[in-house]
């Protein structure tokens, strides 16, 4: 049987295989430290759980409108106004099944076969794959210290081609944890606008910022498409809820797509998410953000003693992107050996980078400080044997 040729362009997510290996070692009695999967280790905040339980007990399980529960769209708009000074009409917000649902809608609306899309390399692989499934070609632009591990206006201008229609940013980014400051974000927005292109911004880790206040592209322009999620900052991974903010003219076709692709986001999850914006919940989330900052700093200190700390510390998310070229040019084998020999699970860089991933790894600081310190000790033993 012949499959759609676009499916062949979707590479496997290797971290999931490594997770299976780590879980198998745990089942066999090994003490595995999990630093591989991009999921907060905190439980969903209690106010959100209580709101979800109340929705279920009240029978609030029927379909919502395809664009989402009106009250939730209003709460998201209020969130942008209060925290980012951005005026967003709730009608421009579409609630989706996870940020993946938002990325699916955006990719299907914005690109077609033969179009080219710019994005940074390294980047979250599913961003590339959504564009590939829509038939577009992704130009992965290598970024590093000089550009703050992000696209900037100069790189957009340099790599834009006649058939490029879209530039995609991620701030904070996965896997590097780096962000764009206001000037850099404005530079990219201007470069894209000068070329009559479209800007798509992944703000899924927004709120998990450690050194500067978080930014939103919506504070600069009403023309960008912005993807966000309740999974990372709000700690609602399994609830499968995200959103897409789009220019007014795009809402009607996006709603038609949503009606046909997934009908609506999960209703109990939408009612639960209303509690994510309450002062009680925000206090919990702020404590967790500070906890993650402490973990980042502990891990950076430990890796610095090993000569492996990144040259530019991550400003957000909960990842470190490490260059292991002194020890290996096969990041998948490196991670496999580290798991087998020291029971520390981290992610091979080839999941994220088109170029250079073979000598990089990603570490998620989604474990408590004691476990992170133990992981550094195990890492040191492992490196001493290489």
Residue 61 belongs to domain with CATH number? 3.40.640.10
Whole-model pTM?
0.96
Among 231, 256, 278, identify where a domain stops: 278
Same structural domain, 194 and 304? no
Quick one: pLDDT at residue 8?
78
Do 55 and 100 belong to one domain?
yes
Domain tally, the chain: 2
Domain boundary among 278, 294, 318: 278
190 and 140 belong to one structural domain: yes
* Residues 150 and 299 placed together within one structural domain of the fold: no
Overall residue count recorded for the chain in this entry? 386
β 93-96/242-245 pair status: antiparallel
* Residues of the chain under the 70 pLDDT cut: none
Within 13 Å of residue 339, how many CA atoms lie on the same side as its CB? 25
* Residue span of the structural domain in which 271 resides: 46-278
Q: Are residues 101 and 226 located together in one domain of the fold?
A: yes
In DSSP terms, 199 is beta-bridged to 167
In this predicted structure, what is the pLDDT of residue 11? Answer: 77
Same domain, 269 and 333: no
**Residue 300's CATH number:** 3.90.1150.10
Q: For residues 282 and 76, what is the distance between their CA atoms, to the nearest angstrom?
A: 14
Sign of the torsion formed by the C-alpha atoms of 39, 44, 48 and 53: positive
Decide which of 220, 249, 278 is a domain's last residue.
Answer: 278
Please report where in the chains the tokens 């998620």 appear, as a residue.
364
Same domain flag for 255 and 319: no
Rounded CA gap, 338 and 28, in Å? 17
- Torsion angles phi and psi, residue 169, rounded to 5: -115, 160
E strands, the chain, are: 33-34, 93-96, 116-121, 137-142, 164-170, 198-202, 225-229, 242-245, 319-323, 344-345, 347-348, 360-364
Regarding whether 302 and 339 lie in a shared domain, the answer is: yes
Q: How, if at all, do strands 225-229 and 198-202 pair?
A: parallel
The verdict on 165 and 255 lying in the same domain is yes
Q: Write down the pLDDT at residue 374.
A: 98
Is 172 in the same domain as 187? Answer: yes
Same-domain check for residues 32 and 171: no
Within 137-257, strands assigned E span 137-142, 164-170, 198-202, 225-229, 242-245
Q: Both 227 and 183 in a single domain? A: yes
């Amino acid at each position: 049987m012949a499959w759609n040729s676009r499916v062949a362009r979707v590479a496997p997510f290797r971290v999931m295989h490594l997770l299976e290996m780590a879980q198998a070692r745990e089942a066999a009695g090994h003490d595995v430290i999990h630093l591989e999967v991009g999921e907060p280790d905190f439980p969903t905040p209690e106010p959100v759980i209580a709101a979800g339980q109340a929705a279920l007990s009240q029978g609030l399980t029927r379909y919502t409108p395809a664009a989402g529960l009106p009250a939730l769209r209003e709460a998201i708009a209020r969130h942008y106004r209060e925290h980012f000074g951005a005026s967003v009409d709730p009608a421009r917000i579409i609630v989706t099944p996870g940020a993946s649902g938002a990325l699916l809608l955006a990719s299907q609306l914005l690109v077609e076969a033969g179009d080219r899309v710019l994005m940074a390399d390294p980047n979250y692989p599913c961003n590339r794959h959504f564009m590939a499934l829509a038939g577009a070609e992704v130009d992965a632009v290598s970024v590093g210290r000089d550009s703050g591990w992000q696209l900037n206006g100069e790189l957009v201008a340099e790599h834009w081609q006649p058939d490029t229609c879209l530039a995609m940013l991620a701030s904070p980014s996965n896997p590097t944890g780096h962000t764009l400051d206001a000037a850099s974000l404005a530079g990219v927005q201007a470069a894209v606008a000068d070329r009559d292109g479209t800007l798509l911004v992944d703000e899924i880790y927004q709120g998990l910022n450690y050194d500067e206040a978080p930014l939103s592209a919506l504070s600069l322009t009403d023309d960008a498409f912005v993807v966000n999620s309740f999974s990372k900052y709000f700690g609602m991974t399994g609830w499968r809820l995200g959103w897409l903010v789009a220019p007014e003219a795009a809402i009607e076709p996006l709603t038609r797509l949503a009606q046909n692709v997934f009908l609506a986001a999960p209703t109990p999850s939408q009612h639960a998410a209303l509690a994510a914006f309450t002062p009680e919940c925000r206090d919990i989330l702020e404590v967790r953000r500070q906890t993650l900052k402490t973990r980042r700093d502990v891990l950076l200190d430990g890796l610095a003693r090993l000569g492996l700390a990144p040259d530019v510390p991550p400003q957000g998310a909960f990842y470190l992107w490490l260059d292991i070229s002194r020890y290996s040019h096969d990041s998948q084998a490196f991670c496999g050996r580290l798991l087998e020999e020291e029971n520390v699970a981290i992610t091979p860089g080839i999941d994220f980078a088109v170029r250079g991933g073979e000598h990089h790894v990603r570490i998620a600081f989604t474990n408590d400080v004691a476990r992170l310190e133990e992981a550094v000790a195990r890492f040191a033993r492992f490196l001493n044997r290489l």
